[in-house]
Amino acid sequence: MNTNFRNDLDYVNRVRGQMNKNQLMLCYRGEMSQEIVIALLNLTENKLNQTNDDSTIKTRVFSVMVECLQNITQQSKESIHAKSNLFMVGYAEHGYTVYSGNVVKKENVEELRSRILEINTMTEEELKEFYKSLIKNESLSGKTGFGLGLIHIARKTGNALEFNFEQIDTDHYFFSLSTLVDH
Amino acid sequence: MELENSFETKSSYQKQLSHIYSFHKLMDENDIMLVYCGDFSQELNKTLLSFTERKFKTENVEDNTRRKIFNIMVEVLQNISKNKVDAGENIPDFEAIFMLGTNNNDYILISSNLIRNEKIAPLQDRIEQVNSLDKEGLKNLYKEVRLNASFSDKAGAGIGIIDIARKSENKLEYSFVEMNNEYSVFSFLIRITKQ
C-alpha cells in the first residue's frame, strides 16, 4: 500500500464508491478454509438478522452462500490462485445478491459454461431429475463437481444463474457467478 | 446496479458481472481481504472481530501480533460505533466502512466514517500528538491521560488513539474531508508491521 495517505484515501473512496454503486455490504477476498467459511457465514447471518426480512429469504440466502463458499473452497484447493477467491453479498431490490469469483483453468471453462447454460434452461422438475442423476453418477465415480452445487442454487432461488469468464492469462479465467435471491 | 434490468439482455448482465472482476482487481491493488459497509452494532463488531481472529489463526499469525491487531480493531470499531449518526436532515448520505488488508510488510486496518465537525480538532490534535512521540513518550502520555481520566470523562477522550499508536508502532495516517457545516468524513489507516 502507498505510504502517501493522499493516495490511500483516494483508494478508500474508490472502494466505497464501488461498494455503494453495487449495493454491497460485505466482500471477502482470499483463501477459503472451513474456518473462514464459518466466519463469513456468521458475519452475514448476523447482518441479515438485523433486517426485517422474513426468515425464508434469510434461509435461502444462507444456503446459496454455503453452496458458493463450498464450491470456491473445492475449486481452489491447492491452487496458486486461491488468494484470488472472492465472495460478496449485496442488496437487491427485492432481496439479496450473492457473488462469488474464482480462478479456473482454461480447459474447464467450456464445461462450466455449458453446464450453467443447461441449468438455466431447465424447469423445476427437470432440475430435480438432473440433480438426482448427478448424485447417482457422482457417488459412483466418487467425484464431486460443481454441478450439484449449481443445480442446488438454481433450485433454491428459481432465478437464472448469471456468470462471466474473464481471461487473466493464457491458461486461466476469472469465473464470476451472481445469484439473485429474492421474494 | 439494477438487477431487474440486468436480466433483460445478456450483454447488460455480462457488464454487471465484469464488476465482480473489477472489484476483485480493486481489492487486489492494495491487498485488501475484507470490506464491510453498513452499520456497526455491537453484535456485528463482535462477528467482525471473530472473523479476523479466525482468519489470522488459520494463517498462523503469532499470538503477540494477533493480539495487537485485535486490540486495535476493537478501538477502531468502537470509534465507528461511537460516531454513529442516524439519517436525518443535514446528514450526508454516507455509510461507514471498515477494511482489513495484509501485504508483504504490514497488516492494515482502515476505517472511514462520518464525524461531527466539532470533534475534529481534539481528535486531530491527539493523532498529531501521538505521531510526534516515541515509545517512551507514548507510555508516559498514556499514564498521564489514564490518571486524568479517572477525574473527568473529558480528559480521557482520545485514550483509544494512544492505545492504537502504542500497539501499532507506526505513524497513524488519517484525513478529514468536510461534507457540510456539521459533518466531515474521518478516514483512518493503521499499520501493524509483520514480524
Any idea which residue has 456468470 for its cell? A163
- Domain locations in chain A as residue ranges: 25-182
Provide the pLDDT for residue B12.
46
Asked if A57 and A159 touch (Cβ cutoff 8 Å), the reply is no
pLDDT in tens, chain A (183 residues): 334 455 567 888 889 888 988 899 999 999 998 889 999 999 999 888 888 888 889 899 999 999 999 888 888 877 888 889 999 999 998 899 999 999 999 998 998 899 899 999 999 899 999 888 888 876 666 555 667 888 889 998 989 999 999 999 999 999 999 999 998
Q: Is A127 on the interface with B (CB under 8 A)?
A: no
The amino acid occupying position B32 is I
Q: Span A25-182: which CATH code?
A: 3.30.565
E strand intervals along B32-105? 32-37, 97-102
Q: Is B175 on the interface with A (CB under 8 A)?
A: yes
**CB–CB of A12 and B99 under 8 A?**
yes
Q: Shortest CB distance from B3 goes to which of A18, A36, A97?
A: A97
Shortest Cα distance, chain A CAs vs residue B69, angstroms: 17
Burial level of A83, CB count in 10 A (0-12/13-18/19+)? middle
Chain A environment of B97 (Cβ under 8 Å): 12, 15-16, 19
Angle between helices A146-157 and A124-141 (to 10 degrees): 160
In whole angstroms, give the CA distance from residue B156 to residue B148.
Answer: 7
- C-alpha distances out from residue B114 to A2, A90, B183, Å: 23, 22, 6
Q: Which of B8, B13, B14, B35 to mutate to test the interface with A (most CBs of A within 10 A)?
A: B35
Residues 20-49 of B with CB under 8 A from A: 20-24, 26-39, 41, 43-44, 47-48
For the cut 90, the answer to whether the pLDDT of residue B32 exceeds it is yes
- Which pLDDT band holds residue B87 (cuts at 50, 70, 90)? confident
For the cut 50, the answer to whether the pLDDT of residue B109 exceeds it is yes
User: Quick one: closest CA in B to A88, which residue?
Assistant: B20
Mean pLDDT of chain B: 86
List the beta bridge partners of residue A181: A96
Ordered by where they begin, the domains of chain B are 12-193 (3.30.565.10)
- Cβ pairs A/B, distance under 8 A: 152
**Among residues B186, B2, B190, which one has the least CA distance to residue B96?**
B186
Grid coordinates representing B135 are 515509545
User: Quick one: closest CA in A to B97, which residue?
Assistant: A16
